[in-house]
């Protein structure tokens, strides 16, 4: 599609950290001499002892992934201490509250002091290197402080998004046996409050590993405190010194765990380690956003997701950036909110999700045009495929054709961005994540794992490691090998499908496994199914994704009731509420279809291919149904499709 090629702008290229020549040189160097390339790039972080061994990777057998393994560092030092002399008084975090009247600015020096105080308090509570700490906080400065305080003392943080239910919180705490929970009285979003402490109390009934809870007073709402276990953040940190000796960490010591959904079973604890992750966070944040010192950078994600980890906290702070943290939502108090915040804080780089763009598109151009947006220089997209219409609207209306768009493809597992244009080096195509970053080696393989050349379509894999790659699934290394390295021998399988055009550009087509992407939130259909069948009236359930204008994908549930139970509107509502309670509001079903029977093969396997087609209203092309045990159930489902 040469017509759609949007060339790099000369004025961007002239000042970019990476232009076309440099991009070519880096790509060649990273391929020819990976050790030399990454030895040099590793200098971006502050080492207590620089690594002599660079890469030790084997994607076969037990799967070994180690980078910089004899290096010693502390992530919080790279994000804080080393900036104090040069930019101690520079703002590190701009906090913008849900309420437009509330905001705050925290300098690198303030942030360092706050991190040290909390780190000391945690040490005093007995938290030591290797302990797991669960963080269940809203988008407040304390969330970043808590992450960095864990890093300071070598504790492994595991953040659980505030939109997860008590059950989801409990299962994540239990899986990694967290010793401490850091939460808040309540969160605030779109003018409503989120009962975090109440949720936490409910979760903790089943979490004996938690010895202490630190509670941030955020809204001031009344919450019960349990004597001996619960401590107010303000009280416990107030007397602590503003200095704290950082724990020396091996490059391969864990930095954090983040739970994410897969196609089967319960969520997996994706484990990232310290050295490689920090190098990757810094490298990708600087290159992809073409970050220049002094710029104001805003990623609208929540720290509960990997995007918040790498591109609100670790990447920007490692690079000495000013990072904006936003507590609110795009449409509160009005649909101009994003652009008002851009003007208020003179944001230069803005990074959001396609679902937000699509939602704002519905309200037309006026709410955008009301704001100046002159400060904007680079726009980013993440989380799901961005449809060309949304891309072009983002480009024309939000960026006024002045700002390059970086459509960044990556995953919780990859730690940071792998495929994306660089603003000064890669021509863009609306809807394409374009080309791999230097040092990233994607390929497209067929069902048998044959690497396909040229313009083609198939399964997206990575042929070799990069420093930010996850190292294991917490507590289950066998599942790690099984999940990512057994489908195609010797390759990392992403779970995504992709097309590559004649220019070598990648177009991500979405998941090829039983994972669905709802508003950029990743969900396993198996998890929603097990929530549904846990309801007393449900015999069986099958969940698939359906196309959704705003969310990208919606959640479509086929439900078979137990004998004697009657479908009703009341029961439908009850099931929606049930799933929200079991998993969290982010897993709200969009459609529930009563299914007297499900299409199964004679061996009892549900044929999801057919269910996906019915949900998508593509009933003309159901394909071969002759292998079904009872083909008549399909006719019934087509007749009674919802929506
Ligand atoms: O399907 C891809 C989609 O999101 C998945 C990863 O989800 P998660 O681990 O939650 O991380 C989201 C933030 C990185 C991928 O397997 N995805 C992410 N970014 C893009 C994307 N699909 C298309 N284009 C993208 N830019």
Rounded distance from Cα 510 to ligand 1 centre (Å): 8
> Would the pLDDT of 627 be above 90?
no
Looking at residue 621, its pLDDT comes to 86
Q: What residues form DSSP beta bridges with 428?
A: 6
Looking at residue 242, its pLDDT comes to 98
CA distance 88 to 108: 5
> Would the pLDDT of 117 be above 50?
yes
Question: Taking residues 455-478, what's their average pLDDT?
Answer: 98
Looking at residue 4, its pLDDT comes to 85
Q: 429 and 1 in contact (C-beta within 8 Å)? A: yes
Looking at residue 216, its pLDDT comes to 98
Looking at residue 16, its pLDDT comes to 98
Relative to the CA of 307, which ligand 1 atom is closest? 13
* Greater model confidence, 642 or 4: 642
> Would the pLDDT of 1 be above 80?
no
Looking at residue 626, its pLDDT comes to 84
Q: 418 and 556 in contact (C-beta within 8 Å)? A: no
* H/E run at residue 256: strand 254-260
| Residue 396 counted as an annotated binding residue | no
Token pair of 338, please? 């994003």
Looking at residue 623, its pLDDT comes to 84
Strands 64-67 and 55-58, by their bridges, are: antiparallel
pTM of the model as a whole: 0.97
DSSP letters, 310-378, are IIIIIHHHHTT-EEEEE-S-TTSS-TTHHHHHHHHHT-SEEEE-HHHHHHHHTT-SHHHHTS--TT--E
Report which protein residue has its CA nearest ligand 1's atom 3: 384
Looking at residue 291, its pLDDT comes to 98
Compute and round to an integer the Cα radius of gyration of the chain. 24
| Residue 329 counted as an annotated binding residue | no
In Å, what is the CA distance from 78 to each residue of 40, 45, 132, 239? 16, 6, 21, 26
CA distance 27 to 33: 10
| Residue 163 counted as an annotated binding residue | no
Residue among 260, 497, 517, 586 to mutate when testing ligand 1 (max atoms within 8 A of CB): 517
Q: Which of 226-235, 462-471, 600-609 has the lowest mean pLDDT?
A: 600-609
Query: CA nearest 614: which of 521, 538, 545?
Result: 545
Q: Is 495 in the pocket of ligand 1 (CB under 6 A)?
A: yes
Rounded distance from Cα 571 to ligand 1 centre (Å): 34
pLDDT in tens, 346-378: 999 999 999 999 999 999 999 999 999 999 999
Cis peptide before 333 (omega within 30 of 0): yes
Contacts of 489 by beta carbon, 8 Å cutoff, 6+ apart: 60, 449
CA distance 425 to 417: 16
Looking at residue 624, its pLDDT comes to 84
Rounded distance from Cα 433 to ligand 1 centre (Å): 11
> Would the pLDDT of 390 be above 70?
yes
Residue among 262, 379, 409 to mutate when testing ligand 1 (max atoms within 8 A of CB): 409
In Å, what is the CA distance from 22 to each residue of 28, 29, 30, 32, 402? 10, 10, 12, 15, 22
pLDDT in tens, 139-183: 999 999 999 999 999 999 999 999 999 999 999 999 999 999 999
Looking at residue 262, its pLDDT comes to 87
> Would the pLDDT of 309 be above 70?
yes
Rounded distance from Cα 235 to ligand 1 centre (Å): 40
* H/E run at residue 25: helix 20-32
For tokens 């090998």, name the residue: 481
* Three state DSSP letters for 435-451: CECCCCCEEEECCCCCE
| Residue 384 counted as an annotated binding residue | yes
Looking at residue 3, its pLDDT comes to 59
Q: 138 and 114 in contact (C-beta within 8 Å)? A: no
CA distance 407 to 409: 7
pLDDT band at 341 (very low <50, low <70, confident <90, very high): very high
| Residue 410 counted as an annotated binding residue | yes
Query: CA nearest 267: which of 442, 528, 28?
Result: 528
Token pair of 585, please? 């509001």
Token pair of 616, please? 């998508």
Token pair of 575, please? 């099931």
Question: Taking residues 186-199, what's their average pLDDT?
Answer: 96
DSSP 514: S
Q: Is 331 in the pocket of ligand 1 (CB under 6 A)?
A: no
Q: 67 and 283 in contact (C-beta within 8 Å)? A: no
DSSP 309: I
CA distance 266 to 531: 11
pLDDT in tens, 85-104: 999 999 999 999 999 999 99
Local structure of 217: helix, strand or coil: coil
Q: Is 212 in the pocket of ligand 1 (CB under 6 A)?
A: no
Q: Is 410 in the pocket of ligand 1 (CB under 6 A)?
A: yes
Report which protein residue has its CA nearest ligand 1's atom 18: 383
Q: 89 and 320 in contact (C-beta within 8 Å)? A: no
Domains of the chain and any CATH numbers: 10-499 (3.40.50.12780), 519-640 (3.30.300.30)
Token pair of 24, please? 């070519």
Q: What residues form DSSP beta bridges with 270?
A: 258, 473
pLDDT in tens, 508-521: 999 999 999 999 99
Q: 155 and 120 in contact (C-beta within 8 Å)? A: no
Q: Is 407 in the pocket of ligand 1 (CB under 6 A)?
A: yes
* H/E run at residue 389: helix 388-393
| Residue 250 counted as an annotated binding residue | no
Query: CA nearest 437: which of 249, 280, 621, 300?
Result: 280
Looking at residue 622, its pLDDT comes to 87
Mean pLDDT of the chain: 97
pLDDT in tens, 534-570: 999 999 999 999 999 999 999 999 999 999 999 999 9
Question: How many other C-beta atoms lie within 10 A of the C-beta of residue 558?
Answer: 26
Report which protein residue has its CA nearest ligand 1's atom 10: 522
Q: Which of 102-111, 372-381, 470-479, 631-640 has the lowest mean pLDDT?
A: 631-640
Q: Which of 90-99, 146-155, 264-273, 451-460 has the lowest mean pLDDT?
A: 264-273
Name the percent of the chain lying above pLDDT 90.
95
| Residue 114 counted as an annotated binding residue | no
CA distance 289 to 596: 51
Alpha carbon 7 to chain centroid, angstroms:
29
Looking at residue 237, its pLDDT comes to 98
């Amino acid at each position: 599609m040469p017509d759609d090629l949007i060339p790099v702008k000369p004025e961007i290229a002239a000042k970019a950290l990476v232009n076309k020549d440099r991009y070519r040189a880096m790509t060649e160097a990273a391929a020819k001499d990976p050790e030399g390339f990454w030895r040099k790039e590793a200098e971006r972080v502050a080492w207590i002892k620089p690594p002599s061994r660079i890469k030790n990777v084997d994607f076969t057998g037990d799967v070994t992934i180690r980078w910089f393994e004899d290096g010693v560092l502390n992530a919080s030092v790279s994000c804080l201490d080393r900036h104090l002399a040069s930019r101690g008084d520079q703002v590190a975090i701009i906090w913008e509250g849900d309420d437009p009247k509330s905001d705050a600015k925290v300098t690198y020096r303030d942030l360092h002091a706050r991190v040290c105080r909390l780190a000391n308090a945690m040490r005093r509570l007995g938290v030591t290197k290797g302990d797991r700490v669960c963080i269940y906080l809203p988008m407040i400065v304390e969330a970043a402080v808590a992450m960095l305080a864990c890093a300071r003392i070598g504790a492994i943080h595991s953040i659980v998004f505030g939109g997860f239910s008590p059950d989801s919180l409990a299962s994540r705490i239990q899986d990694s046996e967290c010793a401490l929970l850091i939460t808040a009285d309540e969160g605030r979003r779109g003018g409503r409050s989120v009962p975090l402490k109440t949720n936490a109390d409910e979760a903790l009934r089943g979490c004996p590993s938690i010895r202490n809870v630190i509670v941030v007073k955020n809204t001031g709402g009344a919450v019960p405190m349990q004597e001996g276990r619960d401590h107010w953040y303000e009280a416990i940190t107030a007397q602590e010194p503003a200095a704290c000796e950082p724990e020396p960490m091996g490059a391969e010591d864990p930095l954090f765990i983040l739970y994410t959904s897969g196609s089967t079973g319960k969520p997996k604890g994706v484990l990232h380690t310290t050295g490689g992750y920090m190098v990757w966070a810094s490298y990708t944040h600087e290159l992809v956003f073409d970050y220049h010192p002094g710029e104001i950078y805003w990623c609208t994600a929540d720290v509960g997701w990997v995007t918040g980890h790498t591109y609100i906290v670790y990447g920007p702070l490692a690079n000495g950036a000013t990072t904006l943290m936003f507590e609110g939502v795009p449409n509160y108090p009005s649909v101009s909110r994003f652009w008002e915040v851009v003007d208020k804080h003179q944001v230069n780089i803005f990074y959001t999700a396609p679902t937000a763009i699509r939602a704002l598109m519905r309200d037309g151009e006026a709410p955008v045009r009301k704001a100046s947006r002159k400060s904007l220089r680079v726009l980013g997209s993440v989380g799901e495929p961005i449809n060309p219409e949304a891309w072009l609207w983002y480009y024309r209306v939000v960026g006024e054709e002045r700002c390059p768009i970086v459509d960044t493809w990556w995953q919780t597992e990859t730690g940071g961005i792998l495929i994306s244009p660089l603003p000064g080096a890669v021509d863009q195509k609306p809807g394409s994540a374009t080309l791999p970053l230097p040092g990233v080696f994607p390929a497209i393989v067929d069902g048998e794992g044959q690497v396909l050349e040229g313009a083609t379509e198939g399964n997206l894999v990575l042929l070799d490691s990069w420093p930010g790659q996850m190292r294991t699934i917490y507590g289950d290394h066998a599942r790690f090998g099984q999940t990512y390295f057994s489908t195609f021998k010797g390759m990392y399988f992403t779970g995504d499908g992709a097309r590559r055009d004649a220019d070598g550009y990648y177009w991500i087509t979405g998941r090829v496994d039983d994972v669905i992407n709802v508003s950029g939130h990743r969900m396993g259909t198996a998890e929603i199914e097990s929530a549904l069948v846990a309801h007393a009236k449900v015999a069986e359930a099958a969940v698939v994704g359906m196309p959704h204008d705003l969310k990208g994908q919606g959640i479509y549930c086929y439900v078979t009731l137990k004998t004697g139970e009657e479908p009703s509107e009341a029961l439908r509502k009850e099931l929606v509420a049930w799933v929200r309670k079991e998993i969290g509001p982010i897993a709200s079903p969009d459609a529930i279809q009563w299914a007297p029977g499900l299409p199964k093969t004679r061996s009892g396997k549900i044929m999801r291919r057919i269910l996906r087609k019915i949900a998508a209203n593509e009933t003309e092309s159901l394909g071969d149904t002759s292998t079904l045990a009872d083909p008549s159930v399909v006719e019934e489902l087509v007749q009674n499709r919802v929506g």
